[in-house]
């Protein structure tokens, strides 16, 4: 942890390099075709394994965040869902909004780094996004970094295109399974010195 004085402010701030993250869980039987999901808005009842926000869409008072990377992580260990990740990622787009402005909009695959199948044996299928083992998809440098001010709203909207019937069937999760999509904003969290 480092300490810094931010431009235009007198107070010293702790700077911590840690992500802000939230999870959207798709559950068995769910067909994501044509649906919209939002990261960072529905955090009530989620554990620290799923989100580290304390309030929907905002940081605590006097806490700011400087975003230098954005990525999405997901994994699947169910052979019954072997095509789900690929189909969902192929038909999805992401939009990052801070305050009232949209700052980034692109296909989801730009933030996942692609898909890696660890074990293609149908009985032992395991696949994950490459962002789980390498760096994030969107990297921001220098003045391109995005700032979230204290109490400023932010969210990431995930839109899934309407798919053909064949693709929608492949993207529908098998009963009693789920896939968690974790969106990470990596960067510097700045808070009052404790």
Residue 6 pLDDT > 60, yes or no? no
Q: Using one digit for the tens of pLDDT, what is the confidence trace for 148-175?
A: 999 999 999 999 999 999 999 999 999 9
Instruction: Give the Cβ contact number of residue 157 at 10 Å.
Output: 17
**Distance between CA 134 and CA 132 in Å, rounded?**
6
Instruction: Give the Cβ contact number of residue 96 at 10 Å.
Output: 22
Structural domain boundaries of the chain?
Answer: 20-186
Q: What is the pLDDT of residue 7?
A: 57
- The mean of the pLDDT values for the chain is 90
> Which residues 6+ apart lie within 8 Å of 48 measured at CB?
none
Q: Using one digit for the tens of pLDDT, what is the confidence trace for 35-77?
A: 999 999 999 999 999 999 999 999 988 999 999 999 999 999 9
Q: Using one digit for the tens of pLDDT, what is the confidence trace for 89-127?
A: 999 999 999 999 999 999 999 999 888 887 666 677 888
157 vs 143, more confident: 157
Q: What is the pLDDT of residue 9?
A: 59
Q: What is the pLDDT of residue 123?
A: 73
What is the secondary structure of 160-180 as a DSSP string?
EPPPPHHHHHHHSPPTT-EEE
CA–CA–CA angle 184, 102, 178 (5° rounding): 40
**Distance between CA 34 and CA 60 in Å, rounded?**
33
Q: What is the pLDDT of residue 187?
A: 94
Residue 135 pLDDT > 70, yes or no? no
CB 108 within 8 A of CB 155: no
Q: What is the pLDDT of residue 126?
A: 85
Residue 11 pLDDT > 70, yes or no? no
């Amino acid at each position: 942890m480092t300490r810094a004085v931010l431009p235009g402010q007198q107070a010293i701030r702790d700077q911590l390099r840690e992500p802000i993250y939230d999870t959207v869980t798709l559950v068995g039987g769910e067909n994501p075709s044509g649906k919209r999901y939002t990261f960072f808005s529905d955090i009530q009842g989620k554990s620290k394994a799923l989100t580290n926000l304390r309030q929907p869409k905002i940081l605590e008072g006097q806490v700011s965040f400087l975003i230098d990377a954005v990525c999405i992580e997901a994994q699947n260990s169910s052979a019954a869902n072997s095509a789900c990740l690929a189909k969902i990622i192929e038909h999805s787009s992401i939009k990052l909004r801070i305050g009232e402005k949209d700052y980034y909009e692109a296909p989801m695959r730009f933030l996942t780094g692609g898909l890696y199948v660890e074990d293609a044996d149908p009985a032992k299928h395991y696949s994950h996004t490459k962002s789980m083992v390498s760096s994030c998809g969107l990297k921001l440098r220098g003045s391109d970094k995005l700032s979230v001010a204290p109490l400023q709203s932010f969210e990431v909207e995930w839109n899934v295109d309407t798919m053909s019937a064949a693709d929608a069937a492949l993207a529908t999760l098998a009963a009693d399974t789920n896939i968690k999509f974790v969106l990470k904003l990596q960067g510097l969290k700045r808070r009052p010195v404790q």
